[in-house]
């Protein structure tokens, strides 16, 4: 049994990779990861060095996991800066660390492939990962936003679990947006309708474009919006490069959805989504001019409408955002799992994760009481 470490997704067959990681999930598809590399988003220079792991014997692939060697903790959305600080205060180096995740994307999905012909495949993969970390001076391994199957397997393997809360919308067989609003309490329903009416009052028009309906100029415009919004909020550019939007995204037509807002035939803002067979993922937003409630319309309400029209089951609009609750997005738990090489921190990490879990579950329960739906 040997662990093969691949520093580029191009080393691996697209057919095999998409079979292993459920090719319907857009953020781990071979073409998506290849595009991130080609556009210089996931490189050693960006702190996201590809480090894809494949465990093989003489006959088969036993297990596999997407991986990235990280020299920082940006773009992960499971925050561990306090862990890095604790390592540094003890004279230790927290970086590099190894993560299994969809880069820059806090969306739950498949994380590890195990060959069903090998009952101990996960155990053998974790043993190989731990060996790699010890040999290469890597502080630990972190698998972020794990799907249900991965959560159960990692819990059984004894990894430390962390939880966070996100807000997702669920399609309960709604026939229209008004049908969805019919589940709201009267005052909440009026507030939301007032927001949507205000967008129209400002003379804004919004159009949803899918796949190859999104033109080259749309992608160029979106990148401009994306960078402008990042610059305003954080003072620096976004994680994704111009080439990712203008060269890579036009090839991902099976998964891309864009909402473009304009006024007097002048484009002013855009929201970008990715989709799978049953889920819409809201990912990026940018605007050149601020308007009342435009963000909610482009990033949430148009996404809900798209899900209803397309029969999608769920809408995951991204991390954080308590303002989503009153708009019908329900609090859900997300899960990550962690193994650390430095045993001296073992008890502290275990205690941290347990305290955090209790706090997160309490927050989730409190957030549920704020949902806008009619009682009962």
What is the per-residue pLDDT for 320? 81
CA dist., res. 91 & res. 103, Å (int): 29
Is the same domain home to 133 and 60?
A: yes
Do residues 25 and 132 share a domain? yes
Asked if residue 331 lies in contact with residue 325, where contact means CB atoms within 8 angstroms, the answer is yes
pLDDT, mean of residues 362-374: 97
Are 157 and 11 in a shared domain? Answer: yes
Question: Residue 357 domain-assigned?
Answer: yes
Give the pLDDT band of residue 109 (cuts 50, 70, 90): very high
Residue whose structure tokens are 């275990």: 350
Residues 185 and 61 in one domain: no
Q: Is 374 helix (H, G, I), strand (E, B) or coil?
A: coil
pLDDT band at 222, cuts 50/70/90? very high
Claim to verify: residue 68 and residue 152 sit in the same structural domain? yes
182 pLDDT higher than 90: yes
In-domain check, residue 323 = no
User: What integer pLDDT is reported at residue 376 of this predicted model?
Assistant: 67
Q: What is the pLDDT of residue 238?
A: 83
User: Cα 267 to the chain's mean position, in Å?
Assistant: 27
Q: How many domains does the chain have?
A: 2
102 & 225 share domain: no
Lowest mean pLDDT among 68-77, 83-92, 222-231: 222-231
| 320 in any annotated domain | no
Scored b (16 or more CB within 10 A) or e, 13-48 reads eeeebbebbebbbbbbbbbbbbbbbbbebbeeebbb
Least confident of 31-40, 96-105, 226-235, 283-292: 226-235
Give me the phi and psi of 314, to 5 degrees please. -150, 150
Same domain, 17 and 160: yes
Q: Tell me the mean pLDDT in the region 211-226.
A: 96
pLDDT band at 321 (very low <50, low <70, confident <90, very high): confident
Q: Quick one: average pLDDT of 175-201?
A: 98
**Cis-peptide, bond into residue 21, ω within 30° of zero:** no
Q: What pLDDT score does 157 carry?
A: 93
What 3-state DSSP class applies to 273?
Answer: strand
Question: Residue 8 domain-assigned?
Answer: yes
Residue given tokens 């190894």 in the structure block: 98
- 13 with 159, same domain: the answer is yes
pTM attached to this predicted model: 0.95
pLDDT digits (tens, 9 = 90+) for 238-266: 899 999 999 999 999 999 999 999 999 99
Task: Write out pLDDT tens, residues 118-170.
Answer: 999 999 999 999 999 999 999 999 999 999 999 999 999 999 999 999 999 99
Same domain assignment for residues 194 and 234: yes
At residue 151, the pLDDT reads 94
Domain-located, residue 373: no
Residue 65 is predicted with a pLDDT of 98
Instruction: Clarify whether residues 61 and 110 are in a common domain.
Output: yes
CATH of the domain at 221: 3.40.630.30
Identify the pLDDT of residue 23: 83
The model's pLDDT over 260-274, given as tens digits with 9 standing for 90+, comes to: 999 999 999 999 999
Q: Assign 214 a pLDDT band (cuts: 50, 70, 90).
A: very high
> Could you tell me which residues come within 8 angstroms of residue 161 by beta carbon, excluding any fewer than 6 positions away?
151, 154, 155, 335, 336, 337, 338, 353, 357
Reply yes or no on whether the pLDDT at 55 is more than 90. yes
| Residue 32 belongs to some domain of the structure | yes
Q: Evaluate if residue 62 carries a pLDDT over 70.
A: yes
In a domain? residue 363: yes
Question: How far does Cα 107 stand from its chain's mean position?
Answer: 3
The pLDDT-based confidence of 22 (bands split at 50, 70, 90) is confident
What pLDDT, on the 0 to 100 scale, is given for residue 362?
Answer: 98
Q: Is 335 helix (H, G, I), strand (E, B) or coil?
A: strand
pLDDT tens figures, 342-357: 999 999 999 999 999 9
Tell me what pLDDT residue 105 has.
96
Q: pLDDT value at position 123?
A: 96
For residues 267 and 251, membership in a common domain is answered with yes
Indicate whether 10 and 131 sit together in one domain: yes
Residue 317 belongs to some domain of the structure: no
Q: Which residues constitute the domain of residue 46?
A: 2-164+332-368
Return the sign of the alpha-carbon dihedral for residues 81, 82, 84, 85. Answer: positive
**pLDDT above 70 coverage of the chain, percent:** 99
User: How confident is residue 235, by pLDDT bands cut at 50, 70 and 90?
Assistant: low
Burial class (CB in 10 A: 0-12, 13-18, 19+), 314: middle
């Amino acid at each position: 049994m040997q662990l093969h470490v691949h520093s580029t997704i191009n080393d691996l067959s697209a057919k095999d990779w998409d079979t292993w990681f459920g090719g319907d999930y857009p953020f781990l598809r071979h073409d998506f990861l290849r595009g991130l590399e080609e556009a210089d988003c996931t490189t050693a220079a960006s702190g996201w060095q590809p480090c894809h792991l494949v465990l093989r014997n003489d006959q088969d692939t036993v297990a596999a996991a997407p991986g990235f060697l990280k020299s920082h903790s940006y773009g992960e959305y499971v925050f561990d800066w306090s862990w890095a600080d604790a390592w540094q205060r003890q004279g230790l180096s927290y970086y590099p660390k190894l993560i299994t995740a969809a880069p820059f994307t806090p969306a739950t999905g498949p994380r590890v492939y195990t060959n069903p012909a090998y009952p101990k495949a996960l155990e053998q993969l974790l043993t190989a990962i731990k060996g790699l970390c010890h040999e290469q001076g890597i502080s630990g391994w972190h698998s972020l936003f794990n799907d249900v199957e991965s959560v159960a397997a990692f819990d059984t393997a004894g990894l430390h679990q962390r939880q966070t809360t996100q807000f997702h919308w669920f399609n309960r067989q709604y026939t229209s947006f008004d049908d969805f609003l019919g589940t709201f309490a009267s005052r909440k329903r009026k507030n939301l309708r007032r927001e949507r009416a205000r967008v129209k009052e400002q003379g804004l028009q919004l159009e949803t474009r899918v796949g190859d309906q999104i033109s080259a100029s749309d992608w160029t415009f979106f990148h401009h919006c994306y960078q402008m919004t990042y610059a305003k909020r954080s003072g620096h550019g976004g994680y994704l490069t111009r080439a990712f939007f203008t060269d890579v995204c036009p090839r991902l037509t099976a998964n891309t959805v864009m909402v473009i807002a304009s006024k007097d035939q002048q484009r002013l803002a855009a929201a970008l989504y990715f989709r799978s067979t049953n889920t819409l993922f809201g990912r990026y937003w940018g605007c050149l001019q601020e308007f009342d409630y435009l963000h909610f319309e482009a990033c949430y309400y148009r996404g809900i409408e798209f899900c209803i029209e397309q029969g999608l089951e769920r809408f995951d609009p991204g991390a954080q955002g308590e303002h989503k609750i009153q708009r019908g997005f329900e609090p859900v738990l997300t899960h990550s799992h962690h193994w650390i090489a430095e045993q001296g921190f073992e008890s502290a990490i275990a205690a941290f994760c347990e305290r955090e879990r209790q706090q997160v579950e309490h927050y989730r329960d409190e957030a549920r009481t704020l949902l806008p739906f009619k009682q009962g």
